[in-house]
């Protein structure tokens, strides 16, 4: 198997698998919180790609990939806070977090 | 490729699968924490100490706690009667499998062009990271500070209890 010899390819495959799992979770679950969990998994898969390319790239001393990952972690934290706040707000109005039941725009 | 990588990759993928597949939402949040911890260990395995510890602090320390709070506040731990999967679950699964097939194919096709030599581990001190944050990356740092402030205020306003009839 070709990927065994190359460490970067192994990390990229793990990241691709994590992304696919997160996407499947975001697309198939009913609960809005589980959809957010899937989105967090996808963001983390992207971070793993950034760090792996930084580590095995030609200029790791430039810190570019790691800085991008750190900023991405900060943005993901903001996204999680706002997303969960929205879920709580929707639950207060509609008394459900079932996304299949959320089918009207008017509050 | 070391045994450590396979162990960490297996732990992370198992945690992610459990987070997506389990029926009880609280169990999903705990499995998500396992996946985050596995990712932090993968970062440490890649010699990115700062990113690994930032991952532990931000994700395990803050995001996982936020998710558990949201689950408890919305009583999401009760398993719904009509199943935990959406009506269109088959479409979502097919899309996710297609995305994974495309990504995996792309990685395996380009494996010959990827850098193969491991090289010495890059020495990154916190001093270097601080200098980079205050020098080259000072504008993104300020923007992230603004974004975090806006997200903090916005999350509070969105989730704040509205009084009856108040605008």
Terminal CA-CA length for chain A:
55
Task: Determine, for residues A88 and B159 on separate chains, whether the beta-carbon distance falls below 8 Å.
Answer: yes
Q: Is the CB of residue A103 less than 8 Å away from at least one CB of chain B?
A: no
Final residue belonging to a domain, choices B43, B64, B80:
B80
Please, which residues have CB within 8 angstroms of residue B113's CB and are 6 or more apart in sequence?
A: none
Task: Determine, for residues A40 and B63 on separate chains, whether the beta-carbon distance falls below 8 Å.
Answer: yes
Task: Determine, for residues B107 and A12 on separate chains, whether the beta-carbon distance falls below 8 Å.
Answer: yes
User: Which residue has tokens 């790691």?
Assistant: A66
Residue B147 lies in a domain: yes
Residue B105 lies in a domain: no
How many domains does the structure of chain A reveal? 1
- pLDDT in the model for residue A69: 92
Domain encompassing residue B156: 125-167
- pLDDT in the model for residue A101: 78
Q: What is the CATH number of the domain that holds A92?
A: 1.10.287.3510
Distance CA B13, CA B9 (A): 6
pLDDT tens figures, B116-150 = 766 677 778 889 889 988 999 999 999 999 999 99
CA-angle at A78, arms to A73 and A80, nearest 5°: 90
B144 and B76 part of one domain = no
B1 and B68 part of one domain = yes
User: Which residue has tokens 């504008």?
Assistant: B139
Residue A29 lies in a domain: yes
For residue A1, is pLDDT > 70? no
In contact, A43 and B117? CB cutoff 8 Å: no
Torsion angle in degrees (nearest 10) through CA of B33, B37, B42, B43: 100
Q: Is the CB of residue A102 less than 8 Å away from at least one CB of chain B?
A: no
pLDDT tens figures, A60-71 = 788 888 899 999
pLDDT tens figures, B63-81 = 999 999 998 888 766 666 6
Residue B98 lies in a domain: no
Reported pTM: 0.89
């Amino acid at each position: 198997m070709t990927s065994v010899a190359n460490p970067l390819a192994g990390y990229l495959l793990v990241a691709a698998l994590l992304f696919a799992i997160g996407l499947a979770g975001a697309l198939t679950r009913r609960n809005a919180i589980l959809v957010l969990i899937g989105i967090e998994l996808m963001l983390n898969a992207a971070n793993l790609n950034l760090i792996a390319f930084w580590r095995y790239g030609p200029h790791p001393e430039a810190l570019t990939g790691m800085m991008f990952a750190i900023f991405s972690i900060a943005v993901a934290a903001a996204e999680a806070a706002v997303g969960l706040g929205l879920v709580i707000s929707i639950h207060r109005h509609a008394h459900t977090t079932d996304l299949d039941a959320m089918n009207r725009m008017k509050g | 490729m070391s045994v450590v990588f396979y162990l960490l990759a297996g732990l992370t993928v198992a945690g992610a699968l459990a987070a997506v597949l389990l029926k009880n939402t609280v169990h999903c949040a705990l499995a998500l924490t396992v996946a985050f911890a596995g990712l932090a260990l993968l970062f440490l395995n890649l010699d990115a100490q700062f990113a690994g510890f930032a991952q532990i602090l931000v994700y395990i320390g803050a995001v996982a706690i936020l998710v558990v709070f949201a689950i408890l506040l919305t009583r999401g731990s009760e398993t719904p009667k009509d199943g935990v999967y959406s009506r269109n679950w088959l479409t979502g699964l097919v899309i996710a499998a297609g995305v994974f097939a495309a990504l995996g194919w792309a990685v395996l096709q380009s494996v010959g062009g990827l850098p193969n030599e491991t090289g010495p581990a890059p020495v990154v001190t916190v001093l270097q990271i601080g200098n980079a944050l205050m020098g080259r990356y000072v504008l993104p740092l300020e923007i992230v500070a603004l974004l975090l402030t806006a997200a903090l205020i916005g999350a509070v306003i969105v989730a704040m209890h509205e009084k009856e009839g108040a605008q």
